Amino acid sequence: MDTIKLTIDNREVEVPKGTTILKAAQSMGIDIPTLCHFEFKGMDVHNKPGGCRICVVEVEKRRNLAPACVTECMEGMVVRTNSIRVINARKTVLELILSDHPNDCLQCAKSGNCELQALAIRFGIRENPFVGEGHEQSTYQVEVSPSIIRDMNKCVMCRRCETMCNEMQTVGALSAIERGFPAVVSTAFNQHLELSPCTFCGQCVAVCPVGALTEVDHTPKIIRAIADPTKKTVVQVAPAVRVALGEEFGMEPGSIVTGKLAAALKALGFDYVFDTDWSADLTIMEEGTELIGRLTKYLAGDKSVPLPILTSCCPAWVNFFEHQFPEMRDLPSTAKSPQQMFGAIAKSYFAEKINCKREDMISVSVMPCLAKKYECSRDEFKVNGNPDVDYSISTRELARLIKMANIDFNALEPIPFDSPLGESTGAAVIFGTTGGVIEAAVRTAYEVITKKTLPKIDFEELRGLEGVRSATIDVDGLKLNIGIAHGLHNARKLLEDIKAGKSQFHAIEIMACPGGCIDGGGQPLHHGNSDIIKARWEAIYRADREMPIRKSHENPSIQAIYKEYLGEPCGHKSHELLHTHYFDRQTTVEVDLEK
């Protein structure tokens, strides 16, 4: 490989050709400040518009300062990253950005986690010479959707959200619009997010450096519900939360905090602390049975069977195909997501068990996800207007609740989840990462189809963090072709193949967020550090290995509910409670040709 030698801050360095000054400096441990720049290693995300100019450096023999994030290193270059000229320029850039930014840090949801605030601290900003210099700050109306709050007064036009929405997710809801002071990232015709193709995946929120994009906060409602003596509160926790929550309390990424998490929820005052893993096992029973059903019919010669079957656990993915591929909505499994299965069972089976009226039960979910907030508000998941899941909070919101209630998380004694909706298997915990749902389904499908015990529980061929993966699983002679995609731009590739009749898969698992739920839009912020995602990913499989039972159909509490309440998987009662249907939400032009 061709390399280049240059000098940065009086130190020589050799880097591959094409390296930017920013990268070269980073390799030497020099931390040039950045704001708009965002790179998510291994996930194929690059946002470098070179727009904010916070990273300017001085290059000898060059007249103007160079933005380090987009300037390539040249042979013999002499770079200064901390000359007085550079420091003054950065400070001016920062003051100009702040002159059009509200000063309400104390009340901002991103306070303490804001990259602009961190820069203001780093540069010791105490006053701003540009405030009030002949123009008012731009004003935009704050927009609230079921999942996401957009306060564009705080937008710094880094355009990271636009990159996530268009390149990572190919959703195309967001774009930069207007120019000059009115410039902002918004939807087509500045319409409400709910009228755009937005899937509420929350990846825009996950990368926003400031408080422009944040989640809808359900914590006040939950505090009220817990305090209400006439209500029974039931909480469920998604698998990916237990491998990420610890980060909010200073633990190493990848720490598994399942027991402490259950203890914290008890300490907060929830009456019943249950586990979404339980309903993940239930999902496998339903979705797995559906897969076997479709496959059996297909192999018996019925070519009209909708195949490949697509997973339906991820609500952002459901929104995506409803908006962009509505004609293919017979392909996904009709099984509800684990969150919604849990809600439906909590407010029927469990409510009956504890003799509690539906209206007196408040069902809460803790999710790594922002789309789950939207999902639980969907009309088809309500009975007489009463939702199966009343409130969904993100991992970040739960951390805030725990801190607010002065619970010393690190000192908590781990406890198990309550029974009966708390027992789960290793197959359920891997729902938290890409490849996990389909591996859990295969573990069960194999044993159901062959009536033999799996020789090896771990399907290494289904694991990994590559965007699109495929594997053929030998189910006693039956060759099951499986596809896996995470990140919606990868999902789109597989869907285009199906549309073109080129897909060879029998089953496809799709998760909207890169890495799956471990990197959901509601997780602790990673600020572009993909090592954190890798650590959570490893923790998920570690948690699986530590479980005494690792196949969903062996979960005794799942076996019990079929025996005493549901009957059989995909049976009548299951269909009523655990299955759903999808809608055409395409918003593109439909032309009236008669006029």
Partner 1 sequence: MDKIIIKLNKDVRAKVIDICNKFNNDPGELINVLHQTQDFLGYLPAEVQELIAECLHIPTAKVYGVVSFYAFFTMTPKGKYPISVCLGTACYVRGAEKVLDAFKKELNLEVGQTTPDGKFSLTCLRCVGACGLAPVAMVGDKVYGRLTPADIKGIVDEYRNME
**Chain residues that interact with partner 1, rule: CB under 8 A:** 166, 171-179, 186-189, 194-197, 584-595
- The label of the residue with tokens 């909706």 reads 421
Least Cβ distance, residue 587 to partner 1 (angstroms): 5
Tell me which amino acid residue 71 is: T
Cα separation, 355 vs 348, in Å, equals: 10
Residue nearer to partner 1 on the CB measure, 187 or 311: 187
Cα separation, 337 vs 352, in Å, equals: 22
Least Cβ distance, residue 192 to partner 1 (angstroms): 10
Residue 290 phi/psi, 5-degree rounding, is -65, -45
Three-state DSSP state, 217: coil
- The label of the residue with tokens 């002065």 reads 406
Catalytic residue among 75, 327, 380, 564: 380
Tell me if residue 551 is catalytic.
Answer: no
Residue nearer to partner 1 on the CB measure, 196 or 279: 196
- CA proximity to 578, closest of 310, 355, 374, 290: 290
- CA proximity to 54, closest of 209, 167, 203: 209
Catalytic residue among 115, 162, 248, 375: 375
Catalytic residue among 48, 110, 154, 372: 372
Please say whether the dihedral angle defined by the alpha carbons of residues 207, 208, 210 and 212, taken in this order, is positive or negative.
negative
Residue nearer to partner 1 on the CB measure, 474 or 594: 594
Least Cβ distance, residue 199 to partner 1 (angstroms): 13
Question: Would you mind telling me the total number of residues written for the chain in this entry?
Answer: 595
Residue nearer to partner 1 on the CB measure, 186 or 530: 186
Tell me which amino acid residue 279 is: S
Residue nearer to partner 1 on the CB measure, 197 or 569: 197
Catalytic residue among 58, 115, 248, 287: 287
Catalytic residue among 114, 158, 161, 313: 313
Tell me if residue 313 is catalytic.
Answer: yes
Cα separation, 1 vs 194, in Å, equals: 49
DSSP-assigned letters across all residues of 258-292? HHHHHHHHHHHT-SEE--HHHHHHHHHHHHHHHHH
Residue nearer to partner 1 on the CB measure, 527 or 585: 585
Q: Could you tell me if residue 451 is left (phi over 0), alpha (psi between -120 and 50 degrees) or otherwise beta?
A: left
Least Cβ distance, residue 191 to partner 1 (angstroms): 9
Residue nearer to partner 1 on the CB measure, 190 or 504: 190
Tell me if residue 127 is catalytic.
Answer: no
Tell me if residue 327 is catalytic.
Answer: no
Query: Are 48 and 35 spatial neighbours (Cβ–Cβ below 8 Å)?
Result: no
- Per residue in 175-213, is it b (16+ CB within 10 Å) or e — as a string? ebeeeeeeebbbbeeeeebeebbbbbbbbbbbbbbbbbb
Least Cβ distance, residue 317 to partner 1 (angstroms): 18
Least Cβ distance, residue 164 to partner 1 (angstroms): 13
Tell me if residue 333 is catalytic.
Answer: yes
Query: Are 206 and 521 spatial neighbours (Cβ–Cβ below 8 Å)?
Result: yes
**Helix (H) or strand (E) segment spanning residue 468:** strand 468-475
- The label of the residue with tokens 């298997």 reads 425
Cα separation, 366 vs 369, in Å, equals: 9
Tell me if residue 517 is catalytic.
Answer: yes
Catalytic residue among 517, 530, 570, 574: 517
Beta strand 148-150 pairing with 78-80: unpaired
Structure tokens belonging to residue 407: 């619970």
Residue nearer to partner 1 on the CB measure, 176 or 549: 176
Structure tokens belonging to residue 431: 């729902």
Structure tokens belonging to residue 308: 């490949």
Least Cβ distance, residue 377 to partner 1 (angstroms): 12
Least Cβ distance, residue 159 to partner 1 (angstroms): 11
Question: Which residues are catalytic, by number?
Answer: 287, 290, 313, 333, 372, 375, 380, 517
